[in-house]
DNA sequence: CGGCATCCTTGCCGATACTG
DNA sequence: CAGTATCGGCAAGGATGCCG
């Protein structure tokens, strides 16, 4: 808010189109796809295999949304059977460092998060049982 | 995948706990909250005002999830009425640069995205009408 | 001020087919 | 191989009201 130039868009504003883009990026599958594409073009079924548990439906939908937003490009080759490659567009390429950092932050800090969760849950449980061991009969 | 060390966690894997964290971060509201906290502690209703259209319920829920994950800290002051401040934890602080970059990327590249969307929609519409103007009589 | 409880809707997402 | 079609469930999230 301080070091940043004045822009016509403000993601904090409701009804700002940036909210729509943020919604797109704030999607687990979209982040994984963009991250997966950062090393070069990847084919549909390769994406489907690499991003475990994604269904073809969701993969297809997410790819089309990303393509519509100009973040990825779709290339069709008239082979038999047909070959389709997805790759980052120049615009999408400006995002990958950030997206990749976010997607992999969890991997680097997973232990800390798990520890925090355990501590939080323990505190909550302790609070829920004011004097543990008391009132045990009945 | 190449320049990266081998980690015990892999966000591409199903059943990997990192997926849960990615789910948390891949949330529009969580991103906005984390970004909003990067300049210092903020109170509940201030967040509610700044992040337009967020409901108290969703704000409260998201804050608690972020607190449970150890990304933010909650401080209560026994004033009248009570004052509650939310701030980034040291762990959360390691995320803000990335989160902020993602949240504001949309603001910087909104025009390009809107142009891409318009081009995409125009191409789709054109494809849906093979030869415009032909077959016009019935 | 800073929430929580409740109800209710919607739309996303997964599962499961089927097609060019 | 690269998708589309259809269906159903379930949980995220909005609206509202109340409380310490």
- Reference B32, options B2, B8, B53; nearest CA is B53
A98 with B95: Cβ contact below 8 A: no
pLDDT above 90 as % of chain A: 64
Within a domain: residue B12?
no
pLDDT at A137 over 80: no
- From the CA of B4, how many Å to the C1' of D14? 42
Query: What CATH number is associated with residue A92?
Result: 1.10.10.10
Average pLDDT over residues B102-109: 89
| Boundaries of domain holding A58 | 18-128
Where residue A130 falls among pLDDT bands split at 50, 70, 90? Answer: low
Flag whether pLDDT at B107 surpasses 50: yes
B2 lies in a domain?
A: no
- The size of chain B, in residues, is 138
Q: Please check the confidence at residue A135 and state whether its pLDDT lies above 60.
A: no
Interface probe for A, chosen from B23, B48, B102 (most Cβ of A below 10 Å), is B102
Which three-class secondary structure string do you get for A72-103? EEEEEECCCCCEEEEEECHHHHHHHHHHHHHH
Percentage with pLDDT > 70 across chain B: 88
User: pLDDT digit string (tens) for B69-89?
Assistant: 999 999 999 999 999 999 999
* Pairwise pLDDT comparison (A66 vs A23), residue with the higher score: A66
For chain A, the average pLDDT equals 88
Whether residue B71 is contained in a domain is answered as yes
CB atoms within 10 A of CB B124: 11
pLDDT single digits (tens) A6-27: 778 999 998 888 888 888 888 9
Give chain B positions within 8 Å (CB) of A76: none
A11 by DSSP, 3-state: which?
Answer: coil
Angle formed by the axes of helices A17-25 and A28-36, nearest 10°: 70
CB contact under 8 A, B14 and A117: no
Q: How confident is the model at residue B128 (pLDDT cuts 50, 70, 90)?
A: confident
B137 confidence band (pLDDT: 50, 70, 90): very low
Residue A9 with chain B: CB contacts under 8 Å: 106-107, 110
Q: Residue A131 pLDDT more than 80?
A: no
Give me the percent of chain B exceeding a pLDDT of 90: 68
Confidence at residue B136, expressed as pLDDT on a 0 to 100 scale: 46
Q: Is the pLDDT of residue A136 over 50?
A: no
Tell me: pLDDT of A85 over 60: yes
Inside any domain, residue A114: yes
**Beta partners for residue A75, in sequence order:** A85
Band (pLDDT 50/70/90 cuts) for residue B95 is very high
Spell A37-64 as b/e; 16+ CB within 10 A means b.
bbeeebebeebbeebeebeeeebeebbe
Bridge partners, residue A74, by sequence: A86
Rounded distance, CA A66 to CA B119, Å? Answer: 13
Query: Are β-strands B83-88 and B72-77 bridged in parallel, bridged antiparallel, or unpaired?
Result: antiparallel
Q: How many helices (H) and strands (E) does chain A have?
A: 5, 3
Q: Kindly report whether the global pTM for this prediction surpasses the value 0.85.
A: yes
A chain contacts of residue B12, beta-carbon cutoff 8 Å: 32, 36, 50-52
For testing the chain A interface, which of B68, B91, B95 should be mutated: the one with the most A CBs within 10 Å?
B68
Residue B104 placed within a domain: yes
Count of structural domains within chain A: 1
pLDDT on residue B4: 57
Per-residue confidence band for B17, with pLDDT thresholds at 50, 70 and 90 = confident
Mean pLDDT along residues A99-107: 88
Return d(Cα A118, Cα A111) in angstroms, integer. 11
More confident residue, A19 or A41: A41
Record: contact A9-B107, CB cut-off 8 A: yes
> And the tokens for B27?
């949330």
Assess contact for A54 and A35: CB atoms under 8 A: no
Tell me, yes or no, whether A8 lies in a domain.
no
């Amino acid at each position: 808010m301080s070091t940043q130039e004045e822009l016509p868009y403000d993601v904090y504003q409701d009804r700002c189109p940036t909210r729509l883009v943020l919604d797109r990026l704030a999607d687990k599958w979209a982040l994984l796809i963009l991250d997966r594409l950062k090393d070069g073009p990847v084919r549909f079924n390769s994406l489907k295999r690499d991003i475990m548990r994604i269904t073809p439906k969701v993969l297809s939908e997410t790819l089309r949304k990303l393509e519509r937003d100009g973040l990825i490009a779709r290339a069709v080759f008239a082979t038999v059977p047909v070959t389709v490659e997805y790759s980052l567009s120049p615009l999408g390429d400006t995002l990958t460092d950030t997206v990749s950092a976010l997607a992999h932050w969890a991997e680097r800090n997973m232990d800390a998060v798990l520890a925090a969760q355990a501590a939080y849950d323990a505190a909550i449980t302790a609070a829920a049982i004011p004097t543990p061991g008391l009132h045990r009969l009945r």
